[in-house]
Structure 1
């Protein structure tokens, strides 16, 4: 990456300040999209809001940006409320999923638009635009129109436009969803590198767990307008605290069962015709209803019949191994890894790798952070 933006300026009064969401609520008629969100973000953090469509993550971002008014709660920067301020007065940078570039303006004018709206012109504006274009590696494309650029280049223009105003907070709403897989990987690395160089706080909305895990300092997992868990990528990947969080962290198999034994932080569950031991963070007792949760790569087909009986429904090759899906006798879906292809309809058994299964108490409700 190129050199960071020049530091020759008066610091923004919001730069280096903590951003706080306090009891954030947003309703659309009878539908509550955000139901009391509390979140404190430190200066310079990269925060990912992660969750499925409709969980409230984009609504939260738009409320922070000022594009949606709150129906309850407060947004504070450095202890001062900003939720009554108009979007342009908050001074935040925004990167949209659709790029939102002006098609009749060349790259340079697109990047400089926010500066002109703030009355920054002349040599200072040119210096900032040059630095922003250099940072996103688009100096050679400065005179092209957006329609002459690739999708990845257009997204870089959108990022340059957001950071050229030197915002204390950069808001990104699923900025990579329109790009192909290769470009997404490249842009993930670029966005994190840009974040590290400019020093602004970044709040990044995504439904892609790989994006969140690879870029964020902390991940906020949301579901139905609530925060389910907040933690580092390692925390959430290894120690999800709720079955819904586990599902979003790749634990695709969820099989209901009943606890047969417990010991410290582990439990044994009888599920789909087999007994399996897994780790748990819940208080469980023999006889409790529970859910066995495992990632596909950690649920392995075994030939000795010692695991969960399954009928194969699909099988695909992914380079180093085969991955399949199947049905248990009770109709549960599961996803597993195999060393060789198994035909559809074949009967086999699968067992979690040692220490890789999680067990959750069934019918848990509410949020946790």
Structure 2
């Protein structure tokens, strides 16, 4: 068991280059288990995204790591030191909140320097580090502005600068882009990744947005009901989700119940929605076996052959129409059409075999 460090000075808590280990994390709230024994090892300098729907436990996990929420059971270690019994300020972690949490009466410079003042860092060194942090987030020219005089994106950069100026071993981010508009979110993704690479700290990023996780993280941890469902690289999660619920969260919105007609070990013929589909086989299947087929909207395309559906709604999104439709038995699916289509239209949709995921129904 890692050694406890109840008397570790704050300046020693910021241990760069140390592995963060979460073992058996459990957190109960009045009999409800928000975390159910979470195990995770995060390597030094890694960017890990905790991804999942609301209520899956990702923010609770982040707050436990930060020390804002005490554990019911389990341990958190940074290198050889167990830190879960240390208060937040003794862990030396930087945190970026969804709401920015800036002091409205302080300039950007003073907001960034607040943590250094709490650590009693010498004035000259603090001023230098604040200047470096503001330059890192490209806000040197805005240093003397109040938060109310800045855009949402600029305020979030101030919050990031405040988190990294203390030179933390771990930076924790709780959905920091959710309050920004679409254009700013896209811009800030690249900025956060750039800052992560510049400072070299481990980053743990909570989000419910798969695009954010895919574009920034080295590794994605998909959570559901207080448990980890799958971990892997963005490519792993995007192309090879291990469970139906993971696939659904990674953008495979259409779920079709089906039954195996034939299987040769490489390709299977599946009967679904009164149609037959060809699917690449990724595991053993038996004729007659119940399965679930999953597809992304951009891969299920309107064309001359496929599954007959009735369009329920369609939206024009620049180069194509994306919509929702229903089969004759009422099964909902999501599709793309390169030609204009609208509610009430009867069309057929299909996907290429390699774009269809197949799961045994019993394992879904």
Superposition TM-score tier, normalisation by shorter sequence: over 0.9
Residues 11-20 or 325-334, more deviating? 11-20
Aligned partner of 1:333 in structure 2 is 332
TM-score (norm 2): 0.94
Partner Cα separation in structure 2 for residue 73 and residue 341 of structure 1: 55
For residues 8-87 of structure 1, the aligned pairs below 5 Å read: 14-87=15-88
The Cα shift of 1:153 comes to: 0.5
CA displacement, residues 18-44 of structure 1 (integer Å, 9 cap, x when unaligned) = 001111111112211111111111000
The Cα shift of 1:331 comes to: 1.4
Aligned partner of 2:314 in structure 1 is 315
Partner Cα separation in structure 2 for residue 196 and residue 322 of structure 1: 38
Aligned partner of 1:346 in structure 2 is 345
In structure 2, runs of 5+ residues without a counterpart are 1-10
Structure 1 200/211 Cα, relative in aligned 2: closer, same or farther at 3 Å? same
Structure 2 SS opposite 1:297: coil
Partner Cα separation in structure 1 for residue 268 and residue 64 of structure 2: 42
Aligned partner of 1:227 in structure 2 is 228
In structure 1, runs of 5+ residues without a counterpart are 1-9
Aligned partner of 1:7 in structure 2 is none
CA displacement, residues 141-161 of structure 1 (integer Å, 9 cap, x when unaligned) = 111111111100000000000
The Cα shift of 1:243 comes to: 0.8
Aligned partner of 1:100 in structure 2 is 101
2:22–2:41 Cα contact (<8 Å) kept = yes
Partner Cα separation in structure 2 for residue 49 and residue 106 of structure 1: 32
1:280–1:360 Cα contact (<8 Å) kept = no
CA displacement, residues 57-104 of structure 1 (integer Å, 9 cap, x when unaligned) = 111100100000111111111132111110110100000000001111
How many residue pairs align between the two structures?
354
Partner Cα separation in structure 1 for residue 82 and residue 199 of structure 2: 24
Structure 1 SS opposite 2:354: coil
Across the aligned residues of Structure 1 and Structure 2, the Cα RMSD in angstroms comes to: 1.5
Structure 1 SS opposite 2:309: strand
1:323–1:335 Cα contact (<8 Å) kept = yes
For residues 266-305 of structure 1, the aligned pairs below 5 Å read: 266-303=267-304
Partner Cα separation in structure 1 for residue 313 and residue 133 of structure 2: 48
The Cα shift of 1:300 comes to: 1.0
Partner Cα separation in structure 1 for residue 233 and residue 196 of structure 2: 17
Partner Cα separation in structure 1 for residue 327 and residue 335 of structure 2: 12
CA displacement, residues 207-234 of structure 1 (integer Å, 9 cap, x when unaligned) = 1111000000000111111111111111
Partner Cα separation in structure 1 for residue 353 and residue 21 of structure 2: 41
Residues 268-277 or 97-106, more deviating? 268-277
Residues 283-292 or 42-51, more deviating? 283-292
Structure 1 284/72 Cα, relative in aligned 2: closer, same or farther at 3 Å? farther
2:280–2:354 Cα contact (<8 Å) kept = yes
The Cα shift of 1:246 comes to: 0.7
Structure 1 68/283 Cα, relative in aligned 2: closer, same or farther at 3 Å? farther
